[in-house]
Chain A
């Protein structure tokens, strides 16, 4: 039988009882990757040499230290192409970085490598993680494994799709306004955005520094907690990474939701929510109630204006973060005799339409005469968004809602930037407040997955896993397999 569509827990056991080996697992993974990616385009590069080297090292570790080896040892995984790996091409799905090979490995990735992870490739995404459909990649769109004519969500679409396609049991993405949770929902996998400051951003190509967090995609909540535990924790290279000890989410994972108060923000089920999504999520609420949780409606009145806050702050930060792509020290350059022309042409040719749009918007919002009206005002309203979460979390232990107002939509169907931005309306407030959030499969609409979002207060990451796990164990949604995953199995 093939193992590639298994979970981390299953694979770790199989590696230890001799049912498979890191090399065998890797070979199966690469074979499935090659087959499936013809239709999915989930990968920007396959790192076979690195993977073979890591698989061999893992084989040795498992043989020498079977009891102390990490659960992740010898297990294949993939990385969103915004995560730097020493000597491995890292493009952020942008033409401007085509061919760029960082001379260093980021902290979260290094922690997985140290645990024995086997990296099979870098996954496709929206250029510089800007988008909600992965259609903004400079290297082609990614197909949703449930319907390749539809988007997998974004920006971490490739990382979501490869897990949904049964290629790897887990991958890493990054979430700035929902870029992990929304594609997880749209591809029927688990996706987690940690509390801001829980996972080091060192080595993550920045989109919006005060919002970005790295997080895992997996097939189960338990796997998700396992990967999170491996990457979380203080890093002196990221000054915004919190030094407080990380609670082990696996210790509380199975405690259930008995007696827990869960809030449903009425603004998160607004008119924009598709009826099928609403029905699936309401059924999910019932399941949680059956498990012993008390559900109540709560209100986050600034949800609507939070979108505006986000679309000032994220572009403002990105306009500055992307200034380094100037054709001088790395990346691609359009040669021109004068420096200014070189800058102008390099950045024009190197960046795609969405990146330019956001750089323009952010530059404008920070520019002289507009700073107070846009950036400063957005920062103040951001405070309000955080305060509203604080007061809701005085009433409830966690928030539950749909992850996305819609299921996966057809490629090319949302050409208007603003309608695309609306995809993030229920995910981005968590980034503004820095709170943790997960998306866990909770049903289907016309064979397209729906995700349930669980949010909790800052540093209550373990509680997010606890609620999601209780829901997952009470339902069978997580064992539904996409056609690609069925083929793999």
Chain B
């Protein structure tokens, strides 16, 4: 933050720069098998190099085959990002040597990608920002490397694991339309939300299934030509993206203000040091020698195919939130929270469909249920209770059979193992005490036992009521209908 303040001061004093940010996202697809061979696409947890076959090892004589699901997923993504789907597309070879790339080329897409010209809209500080999506194309992931000592620069050897090699990877290239680190972050948040919504990616930045590189440049405000572009890598959280961009903008500003010139290069974000460091210079330009992959016939995706894929697109978060507001009478905030993930929105609508009133379902789904889902990393649909069990529990609340705290205790207890809430309430006698005459007697007893609190409340001290409420609650073993207790206490104390 101190750095940012410095940047602002610099800008005030010296040239006013416009920041130009473009993001490139690599997202692994949630297919069962790899992109060009039938090895499982799930590689985490496998012994190094166990998840391989002659094809993904790049052995002599093997040939790639296209995973149909990966093509479907990429088209689905492209449609969600409002892209055009050309009717002809092909794969190309991108040639370069690196130990994590067994064939010496990556099968990717060059001049005729699967999709083009999309965009993404998202709010930043209450304003809608629109960022163009240049293209979404399909390629294969590389293997992973472990450098002795974990630092590439000084390692004397590197270990290679090809388990990840060949996992389907979508590259989503954004236009340089972003102007602040915050907008960049929000772009990623929205993109990740959409990818997870449509079921093509698990959105895990830490494990690298959703990866982001940024191109950052500065130019004097008013200029239309782009400044020298620096590519920033190694950002594996949304926070890291924002911090890395802030730090890189600060660095570039300082260089320019000092009269220096920037070099086009790749810089890595070093979280521990809070700065980017140069990874390599681009003096010797990349020459990937792209050419059409001769081992794979091209794809012709006709409109019937595209429409078939479009039919598999779920309602996207924005549209769903708007519908939640109008259909269920929710606030914009509640609707946004509930539609944050597809599981959450689906769970909410499942509860409502099972008869739980919309507002009650919203409170519980966005509150206690979401917290449990998060804690156990298990969406409500897959919990032991399931949507119907949860609905049964909430209907007990709605009917007044149990009170809120009891419902919460049962929810925590039953979320994972599941069970029959109604039966438990009966067996354990957890039914809410709502009998007015019985509660009135307990209210009187509480006032008698806590004269100080009663006097305080009568003198206008609202919070004094809490002590009295607790006394009644304890007297019922926690089962009292608390809103009713509240009313009875007030009636009695205020003499109505």
Contacts and interface: CB of A to CB of B under 8 A. Distances in A.
Q: Do A and B come from one complex?
A: yes
Contacts of A90: 60-61
Interface in A252-290: none
A202 B61 CA distance: 6
Interface in B168-224: none
A339 B297 contact: no
B408 to A, nearest CB: 55
B287 A368 contact: yes
Interface in A360-374: 363, 366-368, 371
A156 to B, nearest CB: 16
B99 A328 contact: yes
Contacts of B297: 239-240
Interface string B278-312: 00000001010111001111000000000000000
Interface in B49-81: 54, 57-66
B60 A324 contact: yes
Contacts of B97: 323, 326, 343
Contacts of A83: 61
19 contacts: A97-B60, A100-B60, A102-B54, A102-B60, A206-B60, A210-B294, A238-B63, A239-B66, A239-B295, A239-B297, A240-B296, A319-B95, A320-B104, A320-B105, A323-B103, A366-B95, A367-B289, A368-B287, A375-B291
Contacts of A103: 54, 59
Interface of A is mostly: loop
B156 interface: yes
A92 interface: yes
Interface of B: 54, 57-66, 93, 95, 97, 99, 102-105, 156, 158, 160, 162, 285, 287, 289-291, 294-297
A237 interface: yes
Nearest to B160: A328
A444 interface: no
B60 A239 contact: no
B289 A324 contact: no
Contacts of B59: 84, 102-104, 324, 329-330
A236 B37 CA distance: 11
Given A320-B104, A323-B95, A324-B104, A329 B58 contact: yes
Contacts of B65: 236-237, 239
Given A320-B105, A323-B104, A205 B60 contact: yes
A367 B287 contact: yes
Nearest to B60: A205
B99 A339 contact: yes
A203 B61 contact: yes
Contacts of A368: 285, 287, 289
A343 B97 CA distance: 9
A75 to B, nearest CB: 24
B291 A202 contact: no
Nearest to A103: B54
Contacts of A323: 95, 97, 103-105
Query: Number of contact residues on A: which range applies?
Result: 35 or more
Given A84-B60, A329-B57, A240 B104 contact: no
A204 interface: yes
A6 interface: no
A92 B59 CA distance: 13
Given A316-B291, A367-B287, A324 B61 contact: no
Contacts of A417: none
A329 B65 CA distance: 21
A201 interface: yes
Main SS of chain B's interface residues?
loop
A238 B290 CA distance: 22
Contacts of A209: 294-295
A140 interface: no
Nearest to A337: B156
Nearest to A369: B287
What are the nearest 7 A-B pairs in CB distance? A323-B104, A366-B289, A209-B294, A210-B294, A205-B60, A84-B61, A324-B58
Contacts of A363: 289
A200 to B, nearest CB: 8
A58 B239 CA distance: 67
B158 to A, nearest CB: 8
A320 B60 contact: no
Interface string A73-111: 000000000111000001010000100101110100000
Contacts of B105: 320, 323
Nearest to B105: A320
Nearest to A347: B97
Nearest to B57: A329
A210 B297 CA distance: 10
Interface centre among B62, B97, B158, B297 (most CB of A within 10 A): B62
A317 interface: yes
A317 B294 contact: yes
A375 B111 CA distance: 15
Nearest to A242: B297
A371 B296 CA distance: 20
Contacts of B290: 366
Given A324-B102, A368-B287, A371-B289, 4 more contacts: A202-B61, A240-B296, A323-B105, A329-B57
Nearest to B156: A337
Contacts of B285: 368
B56 to A, nearest CB: 11
A419 to B, nearest CB: 28
Contacts of B160: 328
Contacts of B64: 239
Interface string A334-346: 0001010001000
